[in-house]
Chains A and B, each alone.
Chain A
């Protein structure tokens, strides 16, 4: 498609439960990025993929967070044993190729941990 599609729009989980977020990048885009936005304005880079390969995972918390981009499937970001501090909006973005092409963002998934 022509837009980055993120599902679900909202996700509510109790502390300790698992949360799984999905992202379908724009068709033909090779790169997928995940960002976490806390406090409504501060974006934190989590992880990026080049096709199905992890490209940069320097922002991923070592524990509890994992992500995948498998062929012919939406990319996913999974958080095990969620904590209150995981409450945030998670944005996915995709871009065409190397060279710093602009990233196109999805609408985000608002994750609320109760």
Chain B
């Protein structure tokens, strides 16, 4: 069955700490991968995406993610978090061909302490 797993449900960090959020997927075929952020009271915003090519992708706000095909993983990283990064983070996958519906992970709630 198609699924996306985010193992860290809640993460608490101090400002300037490094961040890595895990995302693993189970999906037959070629996939596109996405990370979205949802700030309190706001809609989902795209942080970054991977379609093909360089497996290390850079997104907005200093975030990056690495696609490791052999591990079916697409972990999100940021070298130094800020208080304003407090939000919920969702990993999503869809098929590179097909109906393009997203399969979402259950999200990781990040709290950054000032």
Which residues of B sit under 8 angstroms from A4, Cβ to Cβ?
43
Which residues of B sit under 8 angstroms from A107, Cβ to Cβ?
42-43
Number of interface residues of A (CB under 8 A): 26
Q: B68 contacts the other chain (Cβ, under 8 Å)?
A: no
Bin the interface of chain B by size: 20 to 34
Q: Which of A1-26 contact B (CB under 8 A)?
A: 4
Asked if A41 and B94 sit within 8 Å, CB to CB, the answer is no
Task: Indicate the member of B32, B36, B43, B107 with the most A CB atoms within 10 Å.
Answer: B43
Give 13 A-B contacts (CB < 8 Å), ordered by A residue. A33-B102, A42-B106, A43-B102, A45-B102, A48-B100, A48-B101, A55-B99, A59-B101, A93-B102, A100-B32, A100-B96, A104-B46, A107-B42
Q: Which residues of B contact A (CB under 8 A)?
A: 32, 34, 36, 42-46, 49, 51, 88, 90, 94-96, 99-104, 106-107
Q: Which residues of A contact B (CB under 8 A)?
A: 4, 31, 33, 35, 41-43, 45, 48, 55-56, 58-59, 91, 93, 95, 98-100, 102-108
